[in-house]
Structure 1
Amino acid sequence: MKTRGAVLTQVPGRYEVVELDVDDPRHGEIRVRMAASGICHSDDHQATGDVPAGRIPLAGGHEGAGVVEAVGPGTGGFAEGDHVVFSFVPACGRCRWCATGHQNLCDLGASLGTNARWEDPTSFRLSLDGEPVGQMCGVSTFCEYTTVSTASAVRIDPSIPLDVACLTGCGVGTGWGAAVNGAGVRPGQVVIVMGVGGIGINAVQGAARAGAGAVIAVDPVAFKRTTALEFGATHGVPDIREATDLARTLTNGQGADATIVSVGVVTGEHVGQAVRSVRKAGTCVVVGLGEARTREGDISLTELVLFEKTIKGSLFGSSAPTADIPAQLRAWQAGELRLEELITTRYRLDDVARGFEDLRAGKNIRGLIEFDR
């Protein structure tokens, strides 16, 4: 069938809406009519080339929710009409990582960069004028219809609005989990969050929910700092040096217990600043991505060793999406998690390029594409 979707045809480039062919689902697959998709910096990394795409043309989008429209032959666990949220990292449920509760590290994720089917890097479900089109994270949520593996889909309560639900497919779980799982925030601790966009804002509310005594939000954009205060930050400052000084005044000169790096384009300098901001035995959690070929960081190895500081990467908040996405939505239903307040601007699919312009300009916490607008 035909579908419209936002595609990169060159890198560096911008997303353009074109008409695509989308295949019927095969065994282990479903076709989904999209309701909403978040506009995330990871999609922009593909457009700029910071993170090389495995396939061009590439249909973008990895944070989304919709309704199952067709189920592949012999595929269990899903039915037409089911409401689903996509997990941008697939979960097979069988590998060592899934079996030990680390679905975010599922072995299927090794194929993410191919933009093809997990099991076959030459197999695609979208095409443009007969040419295969890659799918961002295997899902391509910037398409009106998309065919995906069931390993990438999580069924949810149909009473939950899909625009709200879609945010748990990346931004919420990644930020919240960075604080709760990655940093292991405990009551009374001092936490710094560097960058409070769509990821960092959820690290703020995760740290606050975990009982942090102080959450210092760092962002050069005043609107984002103000928003962070509404999501549980106790302080908002424009740069990490000020945040570090503030953390030390709150901890008898020691520094933050944890600093979470969720800057849009992370550099080695950012990581070095974060490491210096934490106390002895403190933790630096790196969430954001940067230029993929970066190999150096501004880190004092002496400080790292003698002060026993920890640097951790955090993919999708170190979460298990099949369990954590429904849990986050239950928390929203109980009033313990803010979701709809994350949405700054709603766009039509045809306005996707403007959405990324607004993202780069710092105008949004989260921009959202709604397919029925």
Structure 2
Amino acid sequence: MKTQAAVLWDYGQDWKIEELELDDPRNDEVLVRLAASGLCHSDEHVRVGDMPFDALPVIGGHEGAGVVEKVGPLVTDVKEGDHVVLSFVPACGRCEYCAKGYQSLCDQGAGIAVGLQGDGTSRHHVGGRDARLMCMLGTFSPYTVVRESSVVTIDQDIPLDKAALVGCAVTTGWGTAINAAKVSAGETVAVMGVGGVGANAVQGAKMAGASRVVAIDPSEFNRDQARRFGATHTYASVDEAREALTDLTRGKMADAALITVGVVHGEMIGEALSLVGKLGRVALTSLGSDTEDDVKMSMFEVTAYRKTIIGTLFGNANPRSDIPKLLEFYSRGELLIDELITRTYSLDQINQGYDDMREHRNVRGMILFD
């Protein structure tokens, strides 16, 4: 079939809308008609070259939901007509890490930076060339073919445009607080960066029962939005937050700091560590350039105060159980998702959407497909 997609031809360029020729699904693959795709900062990392692929072009997008249009041979878990969320990390359920309950580390996730199907070939073709897919999904298109392990079936009464955000931002942010930092009732939590992921980290900390949720972001818009999602205090800088935490906690400092900024740099690790006290946990979700390896921190404090730095991928979630659970929270009014969507765009407005993200005009921008 022929459709359209937002394609990156070279790093540093804008997304370009191209005609996409899409093959039928093969073994263990499904064709999905997408309803919506979120505009996540991770695709911006690809665009600027922080997360390079083996080859270009790349079809962007990794946060989407839609309806299964066709299934390939050997597909057993989904059928035509099923409503699904696309999980940006596949979960096969069979590898060692899935079997141990670490689905965000599924062995099939090794293909995320390659962007091809499981057999090493492509179903997506642009300008006569095979296209790679962001996270093996390519949701910047109204149609895509993905592996069965990358879709999670959901109830059909859940709006698909809202469900799309659980494919990345909601689960990543919420899981950073709940699964990685293991926030518990009565704790004080600092959240560095309140965009799409950070707003959900705030929500996760609030749902866990944190008594104080301190949101840190240079954008006044983001700070205002943080209060909607549960922040009790907001500050423009780490220095301001550190001084306030000293007073708020009588010198104890935060129990956990969650790094959910758009682009992480080495000095931010030390800044996050300075916000937490004894036994403090720092959960690192944000991405930076794959070449940046200079981290500055007080090694003395890590040892003497038993502080911990926790790496976090997809909120350390198990998508096959956590995605339906989060959507159940949403259905009960316990989790805000509608409020995350600041502006919506058509596919050909994608570059405007990312400009709005860079200028801090959105919590989450979203592409809606007809």
> What TM-score range do you get, normalising by the shorter chain?
over 0.9
Cα deviation 1:288-308 (Å, max 9, x = unaligned): 101111111111111211111
Tell me the CA shift for residue 119 of structure 1: 4.4
Cα deviation 1:2-26 (Å, max 9, x = unaligned): 1100000111211111101111001
Structure 2 match to 1:287: 285
Partners of 2:317 and 2:118 in 1: CA distance = 20
Q: Secondary structure at the match of 1:113?
A: coil
Greater shift, 198-207 or 297-306, is seen at 297-306
Structure 2 match to 1:118: 118
Partners of 2:89 and 2:315 in 1: CA distance = 11
Partners of 1:190 and 1:280 in 2: CA distance = 13
Structure 2 match to 1:142: 140
Q: Secondary structure at the match of 1:114?
A: coil
Tell me the CA shift for residue 129 of structure 1: 2.3
Partners of 1:153 and 1:222 in 2: CA distance = 36
Structure 2 match to 1:310: 308
Q: Secondary structure at the match of 1:69?
A: strand
Partners of 1:352 and 1:215 in 2: CA distance = 33
Greater shift, 71-80 or 140-149, is seen at 71-80
Are residues 74 and 343 of structure 1, via their aligned partners in 2, closer, same or farther at CA, if it must alter by over 3 Å?
same
Q: How does 1:232-251 map to 2 (within 5 A)?
A: 232-251=230-249
Partners of 1:295 and 1:4 in 2: CA distance = 38
Tell me the CA shift for residue 102 of structure 1: 0.8
Cα deviation 1:8-50 (Å, max 9, x = unaligned): 0111211111101111001100001110000000000000011
Partners of 2:96 and 2:241 in 1: CA distance = 39
Q: Secondary structure at the match of 1:275?
A: helix
Structure 2 match to 1:169: 167
Cα deviation 1:206-248 (Å, max 9, x = unaligned): 0001000100001111111111111110011101111112222
Q: CA RMSD in A?
A: 0.9
> Is residue 238 of structure 2 the alignment partner of residue 220 of structure 1?
no
Tell me the CA shift for residue 270 of structure 1: 1.1
Are residues 229 and 117 of structure 1, via their aligned partners in 2, closer, same or farther at CA, if it must alter by over 3 Å?
same
Matching residue's letter, 1:134: R
1:200 and 1:262 in contact (8 A); partners too: yes
Partners of 1:118 and 1:171 in 2: CA distance = 25
1:20 and 1:126 in contact (8 A); partners too: yes
Partners of 1:119 and 1:187 in 2: CA distance = 46
Partners of 2:227 and 2:127 in 1: CA distance = 48
Structure 1 match to 2:324: 326
Tell me the CA shift for residue 100 of structure 1: 1.3
Tell me the CA shift for residue 53 of structure 1: 2.0
Partners of 1:71 and 1:133 in 2: CA distance = 21
Structure 2 match to 1:192: 190
1:39 and 1:367 in contact (8 A); partners too: yes
Structure 2 match to 1:366: 364
Of 103, 126, 129, 1:128 maps to: 126
Structure 2 match to 1:72: 72
Structure 1 match to 2:85: 85
**Which structure 2 segments of 5+ residues have no match?**
none
Matching residue's letter, 1:51: M
Tell me the CA shift for residue 80 of structure 1: 1.1
Partners of 2:209 and 2:244 in 1: CA distance = 19
**Which structure 1 segments of 5+ residues have no match?**
none
1:260 and 1:286 in contact (8 A); partners too: yes
Give me the TM-score of the superposition, normalised by structure 1. 0.98
Of 324, 344, 347, 2:345 maps to: 347
Structure 2 match to 1:15: 15
